[in-house]
């Protein structure tokens, strides 16, 4: 049965059926600062019909863990525009039913920073860019296409806008449209305003975001993207 585990320790229980049902772990909060430093994993499962869902799980036996996981799931749902699946456990999915694994991992980590009792906020499609001193606005053009714009246009700005477009494409697994990289679209065909808003902040400093990702991979939490099937 479940035992209370020390923080940061996740036992190997691969032979247990209930563990297999968790799915594949794709991200980890090793010490939750808002709940006794417990370890929380984000697991990905795909249903027979191909729909992807994400489960939050902790091996901690502390009382109140379920409530903490549900609260974290609620924050993820708000920040990332996901829906919580009914039933036991803290399980979510995107409205489109697709995976968006990379974006979901970032979302999980961001949601983990939300203090208990504080309502999670959706990030707007607008941000101040310190590099240019301009406001960057993402315009939602149609169903799944987004355009990066800045107030005031000149030649130097176009390059910066393209860099932000490329950053968004990389971080949110979006497709770039055109040579100038000012437009991106989701691969699932659906709108994901919340995710685009969340990752816009990171896209302004792509180098730092990529460094964080490499550090996470070197901690052994992840399989390298080149080895992933989707
Ligand atoms: Zn989608």
Considering only residues 4 and 120, tell me which one the structure prediction assigns the higher pLDDT.
120
At 20, is the secondary structure helix, strand, or coil? helix
Q: What is the pLDDT of residue 1?
A: 42
Element (H, E) at 65: helix 65-80
Quick one: pLDDT band at residue 219, thresholds 50, 70, 90?
low
Residue 153: per-residue pLDDT: 59
Q: Residue 63 has what DSSP assignment?
A: T
CA of 163 to the centre of ligand 1 (A): 23
How far is the centre of ligand 1, averaged over its atoms, from the C-alpha of 105 (Å)?
14
- 20 pLDDT band, cuts 50/70/90, is low
* Whole-number Cα distances in Å, 6 to 37, 58, 97, 205, 230: 9, 11, 35, 35, 33
Share of the chain above pLDDT 90, in %: 60
* C-alpha of residue 144 to centroid of ligand 1, in Å: 9
Percentage of residues of the chain with pLDDT beyond 70:
83
Query: Beta partners for 54?
Result: 44, 92
Give this prediction's pTM. 0.81
Terminal-residue alpha carbon distance, the chain: 34
Specify the residue for token string 């039913």.
Answer: 97
DSSP helix/strand/coil, 143: coil
Phi, psi of 68 (to 5 degrees): -65, -45
pLDDT band for 3, please (50, 70, 90 cuts): very low
Q: Cα(4) to centroid of ligand 1, in Å?
A: 37
Q: Are 72 and 57 in contact (CB under 8 A)?
A: no
Name the token pair of 219. 């901690």
What digits encode the pLDDT tens for the residues 81-124? 999 999 878 999 999 999 999 999 999 999 999 998 899 999 99
Helix (H) or strand (E) holding 74: helix 65-80
Q: Looking at the DSSP assignment, which residues form a beta bridge with residue 177?
A: 183
Question: What's the chain's average pLDDT?
Answer: 85
Distance of CA 75 to the CA centre of its chain: 12
Domain boundaries, the chain: 17-121, 126-218
Query: For residue 9, how far is its CA from the centre of ligand 1 (angstroms)?
Result: 33
pLDDT at site 154: 62
Instruction: Write out the CATH class of domain 126-218.
Output: alpha beta
Q: How far is CA 188 from its chain centroid? A: 16
Rounded distance from Cα 93 to ligand 1 centre (Å): 10
Strand ranges across the sheet with 175-177: 126-129, 134-142, 145-150, 183-185, 175-177
Neighbours of 82 (CB within 10 A): 24
Q: Is the pLDDT of residue 188 over 90?
A: yes
Q: Which two tokens stand for residue 196?
A: 């685009």
Model confidence at 229: pLDDT above 80:
no
């Amino acid at each position: 049965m479940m035992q209370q585990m020390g923080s940061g320790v996740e036992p190997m229980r691969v032979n247990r059926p209930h563990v297999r049902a968790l799915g594949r772990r794709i991200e980890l909060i090793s010490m939750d600062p808002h709940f006794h430093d417990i370890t929380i994993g984000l697991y990905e499962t795909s249903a027979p019909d191909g729909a992807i869902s994400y489960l939050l799980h902790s091996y901690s036996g502390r009382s109140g863990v379920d409530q903490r996981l549900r609260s974290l799931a609620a924050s993820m749902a708000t920040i990332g525009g996901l829906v919580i699946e009914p039933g036991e456990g803290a399980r979510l999915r995107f409205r489109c039913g697709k995976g968006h694994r990379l974006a979901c991992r970032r979302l999980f980590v961001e949601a983990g920073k939300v203090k208990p009792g504080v309502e999670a906020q959706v990030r707007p499609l607008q941000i101040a860019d310190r590099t240019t001193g301009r406001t960057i606005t993402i315009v939602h053009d149609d169903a799944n296409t987004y355009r990066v714009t800045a107030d005031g246009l000149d030649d130097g700005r176009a390059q910066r806008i393209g860099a932000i477009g490329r950053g968004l494409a990389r971080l949110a697994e979006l497709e770039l449209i055109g040579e100038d990289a000012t437009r991106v679209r989701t691969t699932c065909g659906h709108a994901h305003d919340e995710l685009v808003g969340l990752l816009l902040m990171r896209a302004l400093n792509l180098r730092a975001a990529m460094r964080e990702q490499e550090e996470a991979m070197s901690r052994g939490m992840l399989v390298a993207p080149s080895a992933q099937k989707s």
